[in-house]
Structure 1
């Protein structure tokens, strides 16, 4: 009986807690701590592409495209999509208003190498023109593509008979490196300079090499 008297209050307590959980429902929006901390006075930010080479300096990128199999202009298109992705991510949150700055030429290295920091006169002019609290510059961008192909003889059943056919395989790996610098004009501060690497992989097989690549 002593055991029963101990169990009953426990069961009653669990029943009350369970009932209260069923009748109360609340939704909360919680901000995840950022990897890079920005001061509270930064709300309007501009994002600009400084990763592309200047005029007449793109030969190295063209040569790299032939060596790695990348399409010419892939880094240009990829870097622009990266700017849009960052702006979309910032604008989806409650704190920042982000705009992609276009039509301003700020040539970079066109490779994974960092360029020198922007001159503060340029930063001040851009932030004043677009009414920004900070300027986020994509200052290095590079994508490498590697395709590995192979084939193998496999056994299949065709018209109820076992036959040996050749099957083709391809593995595609893409590595993207983006380097960012955050400039704060108010006190001429480099808030952060960091590089990020992303890698994606795809695998496919088919009856012909053309089918696999498609």
Structure 2
């Protein structure tokens, strides 16, 4: 319950801004989203291993010459990818990474997994580094594509005369392809085997091709930066992360209980807001207003972390008062409830995330 309160009171902050719809505001909720996959509860510390070192170094040198990449560029890219993953783990609520300095060769290609490591090797790595599992980077490939095009633009001189000019546009796109395996030592199973692509692009404009190309970020720096971000991208697959989601709040002008409650919510006083919306239920007989008040009470309950109450209020908003926006919000609450069940499973030392 302590963790549950931590989510709902300390880290569930609200940013409110005017919506384009009259009588409503849009709010942003910062929510913890469960990972895509759930690791065994015994896994809390993971060794991060670079196993994507090509076994045939001579072939790798030839490829570096053909592609125009430096001989050490792939090595730097792999290092930055694991460093990005390690940093993401430092922000993780439930997992800790231990970045290893050694590299192991693999018998796979840049995009094909090698044969799995033996469990004797995994056990040795875990014992030496005091970890419960090993994440191995086992495939790695980088690709850089630079394109340039010329286009006509119109500029205005000091006399206000429009002058057509040719402008050159250069684009550099970096694509990183990575493949990870997670070795679960306790259960002696591969908990995840996943490949993905991650890309970034940079642009530059100039009056000639040479200037446009020189305006692009250094290729090696671009690859390293993309690799670093790609590492953090994988962490989201196996560890809960914070995201922003939008919700709708009904507002009202004047000094009625509905209006006062809305203003209380805007300044973050959801407890008082709920009190006024409860009053609106007893002082008004207007079906539309009652549907909106119960909708807001559902939102207030979600902010407080009580999804059972939220689902009850939104059910009344639609079932009793036919609020047309209630069914969509009810689907959101059902999804959130299922996500919190998974989140509870992923937070090994947490019980009763949902009340």
Please indicate the TM-score interval, normalised by the length of the shorter structure.
Answer: 0.7 to 0.9
> How big is each residue's C-alpha offset from its partner over 1:30-87, in whole Å with a ceiling of 9 and x where there is no partner?
5421112111111111101011213xx1333333334444343322211111111111
Q: How much has 1:127 moved relative to structure 2? A: 0.7
**Structure 1 match to 2:145:** 146
**Structure 1 match to 2:175:** 175
Secondary structure of residue in 2 paired with 1:106: strand
Aligned: 1:194 with 2:169: no
Q: Which stretches in structure 2 are left out of the alignment for 5+ residues?
A: 1-7, 13-30, 216-355
**Structure 1 match to 2:10:** 27
Q: How much has 1:26 moved relative to structure 2? A: 3.4
**Structure 2 match to 1:36:** 37
For 2:40 and 2:201, the matched residues in 1 are separated by 37
Secondary structure of residue in 1 paired with 2:210: helix
For 2:63 and 2:166, the matched residues in 1 are separated by 33
For 1:68 and 1:35, the matched residues in 2 are separated by 35
**Structure 2 match to 1:130:** 129
**Structure 1 match to 2:91:** 92
- Could you say which structure has the higher strand fraction? 1
For 1:58 and 1:153, the matched residues in 2 are separated by 47
Work out whether residues 147 and 171 of structure 1, in 8 Å CA contact, stay in contact via their aligned partners in 2.
yes
In structure 2, do the counterparts of structure 1 residues 38 and 145 end up closer, same or farther at CA, with 3 Å as the change threshold? same
TM-score by length of 2: 0.48
In structure 2, do the counterparts of structure 1 residues 63 and 168 end up closer, same or farther at CA, with 3 Å as the change threshold? farther
For 2:200 and 2:165, the matched residues in 1 are separated by 30
Q: Root-mean-square deviation (CA), in Å? A: 2.3
In structure 2, do the counterparts of structure 1 residues 209 and 72 end up closer, same or farther at CA, with 3 Å as the change threshold? farther
Total equivalences in the alignment: 187
Work out whether residues 70 and 144 of structure 1, in 8 Å CA contact, stay in contact via their aligned partners in 2.
no
In structure 2, do the counterparts of structure 1 residues 74 and 105 end up closer, same or farther at CA, with 3 Å as the change threshold? closer
For 1:156 and 1:32, the matched residues in 2 are separated by 48
- Could you say which structure has the higher helix fraction? 2
Q: How much has 1:157 moved relative to structure 2? A: 3.9
In structure 2, do the counterparts of structure 1 residues 164 and 98 end up closer, same or farther at CA, with 3 Å as the change threshold? same
Q: After TM superposition, list the pairs within 5 Å mapping 1:109-124 onto structure 2.
A: 109=108, 111-124=110-123
**Structure 2 match to 1:53:** 54
Q: Which stretches in structure 1 are left out of the alignment for 5+ residues?
A: 1-24
Secondary structure of residue in 2 paired with 1:50: strand
